[in-house]
Structure 1
Amino acid sequence: MDVPAAAPPEAPARTLSPAAQRALAEAEARRAAIDAKAAELTGAREINGRGGLEPVRYDDWEVKGIASDF
């Protein structure tokens, strides 16, 4: 008979420094801006374009995982 393992005790919540909190907020704002730009770009229909996400969504050109700045 299998006995379920006891759940590991939860670690106490860590408090982040103000710098870490600012960095997380900035990263979230950057992600939101990228998502907004992607939504704007997907609204325009491209004729004979490549499928998938817009290759310039991070302000660089990406094809098959290789990115180049322009």
Structure 2
Amino acid sequence: MTQDDQQPKQSETDAVETDTPKRELSPAAKRALAEADERRKARDTAKISTEKEIGGRGGADPARFGDWEIDGRAIDF
């Protein structure tokens, strides 16, 4: 084997550089990006602030997945 065979080859798309400048975003696009960022932050905050259930059944939600028993015992809410 030669040294060229041992080194990973770079794909042609990685080697091609584009000379097109980045376009300026429209005000609507900037607002949409800002709103999406706010939603992500709110989602992360809500995920952190939710408390874990103490003594809960664990596992998937039975109302959603139809799993109404644990270890052969029927469960009720």
Bin for the TM-score computed over the shorter chain: 0.5 to 0.7
Of structures 1 and 2, the one scoring higher in RCO (CA 8 A, sep 6+) is 1
Count residues with an aligned counterpart. 53
Greater strand share, 1 or 2? 1
Q: Indicate the residue corresponding to 1:37 in structure 2.
A: 46
Structure 2: which 5+ runs fail to align?
66-77
The structure that is helix-richer by fraction is 2
Mind listing any 5+ residue stretches in structure 1 that lack a counterpart?
Answer: 56-62, 65-70
The CA deviation string for residues 7-55 of structure 1, in whole angstroms up to 9 with x for no partner, is 11234212110100000000100110011000001xx231224358xx8
Moved >3 Å (runs of 4+): 1-6, 49-52
Structure 1 vs Structure 2 CA RMSD: 3.0
Normalising by structure 2, we get a TM-score of 0.51
